[in-house]
Amino acid sequence: MVTVTPSKGFQPVLERIAEEIGRTPGHGRPADYIPALAACDPRRFGMAVAEPDGTVYGVGDWRQPFSAQSVTKVFTLALDLAREGDALWEHVGREPSGNPFNSLVQLEYENGIPRNPFINAGALVVTDRLHTRTGDAAGELIAFLRAESGNPGLTFDREVAASEAAHGDRNAALAHFMASYGNIDNPVPVLLDQYVRQCSVAASCADLALATGFLARHGVRADGTRLLSRSQAKQVNAVMLTCGTYDAAGEFAYRVGLPGKSGVGGGIIAVVPGRCTLCVWGPGLDERGNSVSGVAALDRFTTLTGLSVF
């Protein structure tokens, strides 16, 4: 059950952050390697905080759907981990890569086993395994996001998916390369279709803050059923903290001090275990691919509230 509380709880701190962000010059540049994302106005900004009971607070463009992109990697990881447990970790590691999200070079040294589930190679492995187990990885993802956010209208953006598919040579190379090591089960074109649909999910800050709630509830879904064990939820939060913000995870931990996952659409989700989940959106990215205003807003949130895992 989703309750929107406009004037209490986290609302004053969100309003203060939005006001500060609005005064800060320099908002980065939208991703341009997927043409459909390049047109986003980098001055857009939204932020939402969801409490474990489903109460949501928001500011700015917090109800505006945007391209979730790599933020979805958290949900596919959780959905696959829930099904296959630790066997997943034989196919993908859980160490920071120190390389760009779409790098090929490390894969050859490490025999087709990607460093972690949040670089593209690792996410392709996770989606492949989820697809094998469910017959429709992208469908599982969207059903999960709709249920957790309470938004049945949440869906894929066909234009973004088509745009990425038309510019997907590098992801195709990663998938074929891993297939040559036997680390991909499905035909590569099938996997790539699932992957671009997954990345194209359009969701708002409110949707994604709510959908991340299971990580603040130690693995329990919005309806009270358990998706992950407490220990698995801790593991997903830990991988987010160490690997969730491209090769800037150290800087993100230093500034924000929370498990987080960013995407090139400019969204970032973050978790305060036991307390709340956040999603912030600002399409202007820094040179590592993280939202400039998003990181700044989360930095201010943990500073002003004292909420952090440290």
Q: Which residues are documented as binding site for substrate?
A: 70, 120, 164, 171, 195, 246, 264
- The yes or no reply on residue 97 touching ligand GLU (CB under 6 A) is no
Closest-CA residue to 76 (of 147, 119, 137, 122) = 137
Nearer to ligand GLU, 117 or 263 (CB): 263
Q: From CA 292, how far away is CA 218, in angstroms rounded?
A: 29
Site string for ligand GLU, 3-42 (x = CB under 6 A): ----------------------------------------
- The yes or no reply on residue 156 touching ligand GLU (CB under 6 A) is no
Determine whether 33 is an active site residue: no
Give residues with Cβ within 8 angstroms of 16, minimum separation 6.
Answer: 300, 304
Other CB atoms within 10 Å distance of the CB of residue 6? 9
CB of 86 to ligand GLU, least distance (A): 26
Nearer to ligand GLU, 97 or 171 (CB): 171
Determine whether 229 is an active site residue: no
Burial of 267 (0-12, 13-18, 19+ CB in 10 A): buried
Host H or E run for residue 249 = helix 249-255
Give residues with Cβ within 8 angstroms of 139, minimum separation 6.
Answer: none
- The yes or no reply on residue 171 touching ligand GLU (CB under 6 A) is yes
Find how far residue 157's CA is from the centre of its chain: 16
Catalytic site residue from 195, 239, 280, 295: 195
Among 51, 61, 140, 164, binds ligand GLU (CB under 6 A): 164
Determine whether 57 is an active site residue: no
- The yes or no reply on residue 175 touching ligand GLU (CB under 6 A) is no
* Site size with ligand GLU, rule: CB under 6 A: 10
- The yes or no reply on residue 259 touching ligand GLU (CB under 6 A) is no
What Cα–Cα distance (Å) separates residue 293 from each residue in 41, 132, 162, 184, 269? 13, 38, 28, 36, 13
Binding-site ranges for ligand GLU (CB under 6 A): 69-70, 101-102, 120, 164, 171, 199, 263-264
